[in-house]
Amino acid sequence: MVSNRPFSPAQLGPPAHATIMPALTLNHLRRHAVARSLGRPTTLARAIERLGFVQADPIRAPARAQDLILRHRVADYRAGDLERLYPRLPIEEDCLVNYGFLPRATLALLHPRQVKRPWDAETEARAAEVLAFVRQRGPTHPRDVLAAFAHGTVRGYWGGDLNASTQILDGLHYRGLLRVVRRESGTRVYAAVDHPPVDDSPAARAARADALVRLVVQKYAPLPSPSLGYLVGLLGYGAPQLRTECRAALGRARSRLPSAEVDGLRWYWPDGEDPAGRRWRGGPTARLLAPFDPVVWDRLRFERLWGWAYKFEAYTPAAKRSFGHYALPLLWRDRVPGWATVSSRGGGLAVQIGFAGERPTDPAFAPAVDAELARLQQFLQAAPDRPSRKTPSPATG
């Protein structure tokens, strides 16, 4: 019998050769977020190149954030390796979305940096004196500047008095007139630096802004739209002179990048990646992540992907803390069921683990956590003269 109803090609379904893409879900995004950031460990130089930026934090609980981030991505990494090997590597301490370590080549996107609030005439004169002192002296420890100048104190942003000479050194570093050549027991040692001139044409400024937006997408993807906008806003810290260009670059990125709407939010990721095609191959592995690890850094993304709100409470009064002074998110396979606070005690580790919901019932969970704590213990036992066979020189890395 022949039907008289209008015929639609859609009734035939897709052609035999067509690929039906699965609907993207939070499960896909979760696996993609973990797998793309936590790949096979490599050398220190290559890990920083892959990450694009490693956020720094001075708190040791049980180690600095930069070391806790790198230990998952660098083969045979030990606490303090970054500080020890820094002078030999093509990396710099500088500002991007916050303060940290980045490949030296990235400085061309950030400098010459134009600050939002210029110094007053008195501070400008003092800064010129300090810069001339460092240029003449060479690598300079802050104590040498303190001994040479009596600049007094200034009021700190968070209250309290700060040494004015130290603040001038920080300001010269931020302006790109000094660089960190090494650290001594955690204290920055500075030397004068001159950045090469850059093309300041509108097209060149737009290209630098596009490159900066690509950098943060590469590091923190997959990103929900509000987080992408927030990160691009934070680029005003590392490149205040490109604020307008970065806002325009954000619009171009949102129109160009692969994206999908999942759970009521638009998500973005770099070209060439397929979150829906990512298969989980991580095995029964547990990892304790730094609060600033790119896997967990974005708190909006964290809550969407793992279903609970994680907070960094190091600066929260103890009585108001829910997680502890320095809670490390506990990654189990591609889930984050809870957190741990860890401290060194009596040659071992004092560990407290909390869960946002039910404790995982998988029998592999407890052995995986024990194995992670053993790795953490080994990571903390760093010898100052440990050979660096696995970290290449700048010429080879």
> In the prediction, which pLDDT does 154 show?
63
The phi and psi torsions of 267 (rounded to 5 degrees) equal: -115, 145
Q: CB neighbours of 332 closer than 8 A, spacing ≥ 6?
A: 285, 286, 360, 365, 368, 369
pLDDT of residue 354: 96
Predicted local confidence at residue 277, as pLDDT:
84
Distance CA 182, CA 140 (A): 10
Query: Under DSSP, is residue 338 helix (H, G, I), strand (E, B) or coil?
Result: strand
Give pLDDT tens digits for 192-223: 999 999 999 999 999 999 999 999 999 999 99
Smallest CA-to-CA distance from 303 within 269, 343, 263 is with 263
State the Cα–Cα distance between residues 206 and 374, nearest whole angstrom. 47
The per-residue pLDDT for 347 is 76
In this structure, whether the domain defined by 121-192 belongs to CATH 2.60.40 is answered with no
Nearest to 189 by CA among 166, 163, 156: 166
Both tokens of 240, joined, read 């205040």
Q: What pLDDT is stored for residue 390 in this prediction?
A: 40
Cβ proximity of 101 and 56 under 8 Å: yes
Q: Determine the pLDDT at residue 116.
A: 86
Distance of CA 48 to CAs 41, 44, 104, 145, 291, Å? 11, 6, 10, 31, 18
With a cut of 50, list the residues of the chain below it in pLDDT.
1-20, 387-397
Domain spans of the chain, in order of start: 121-192, 202-275, 281-380
The SS3 call for residue 57 is coil
pLDDT of the residue at 9: 39
Question: Can you read off the two tokens belonging to residue 53?
Answer: 């930026």
Distance CA(141)–CA(190), nearest Å, equals: 7
Query: What are the residues whose beta carbons fall under 8 Å from the beta carbon of 156, sequence distance 6 or more?
Result: 162
Residues 170, 154 contacting (CB under 8 angstroms): no
- Report the pLDDT value the prediction gives residue 95, as an integer from 0 to 100: 98
